[in-house]
Amino acid sequence: MFSGTRGHSHRKIASPSSDNPRPTARYHWAAAAVEFALTGVLLFVVVTAVRWVMASPLGAHLPDLRLQLTVVAGIVALALWLALRSLWGRYSGGHLNPAVTLALWVTGAFPGRDVLPYAVAQLAGSLVGTGLARLVWGTVVSGPMAYAAVGPAPGWTAPALFAAEAGATALIMGLALLLLALPQGTRWIPMALPLAVAAAIVALGPSTGGSANPARQLGPALWAGRTDSLWIYLLAPPTGASLVALIARWSTLNKRARSASPPTH
């Protein structure tokens, strides 16, 4: 996810402000630190939502799995919206997802030197946020709910899981890039992307978990010791997001080439 807001942005996306086109190294590390904090908060919210909606007596009043997922998705969407609208989210760009960071670099909208710091910060935030939820809520999160780690439903093969997670991330990233391309589209990003993530959770929750974010899965999976399919959840989202970004960049370059070509008679 990312805020797409102006101000602290690099071509509208997380980097130096327009008033400071050459930010110092301090800015880059501060922005990565913000990504660490925001991703940590997001994972704390995810584990907390699953703990109280799906692993508590409240779940008895929501017997349908899809209904439980809808409530969890709504809580996560609200947390994402608040993160993207916050000053911190606008400072770093509010990626909160290594797949988003990589895809924005592929489009040329994010500096390459910040990709690794952002990704490391997001993944570290995932680990810390999940651990914080364990500290706050106790052993209940380490029981059957497995720190809110997701996994494929029975019968799902590795290729199918990879395709589903990559496809979901590609759709979310495609929506983001479409909004960025529209004259007034960026203002809708903080609302549209959380809703898209919520839709992925509800649609894919019963089958793949609807992660669409390596940081969403890394912390819970490692804390729970559920690493069988972890490589798919780590690689599929960046793959899907990057493919969409490549298509977007090719389309942009192609349009520029056509507009720069002299008219033929």
Give average pLDDT by consecutive 10-residue segment, the chain, 265 residues.
48 38 70 97 98 87 90 98 96 96 95 96 98 97 94 97 98 95 91 97 97 98 96 98 95 64 58
Neighbours of 249 (CB within 10 A): 16
How many whole angstroms from its chain centre is CA 11? 19
Taking only the tens place, the pLDDT of each residue in 58-83 is 777 888 899 999 999 999 999 999 99
pTM: 0.88
Distance of alpha carbon 54 from alpha carbon 64, whole angstroms = 10
Token digits for 257?
């080439």
Taking only the tens place, the pLDDT of each residue in 35-45 is 999 999 999 99
Q: Say which CATH class 8-254 falls into.
A: mainly alpha
Token digits for 32?
């990565």
How many whole angstroms from its chain centre is CA 94? 9
Rounded (10°) angle between helices 158-181 and 189-204: 160
* SS3 (DSSP) at 13: strand
Taking only the tens place, the pLDDT of each residue in 72-118 is 999 999 999 999 999 999 999 999 999 999 999 999 999 999 999 99
For 18, left (φ over 0), alpha (ψ -120 to 50), or beta? Answer: alpha
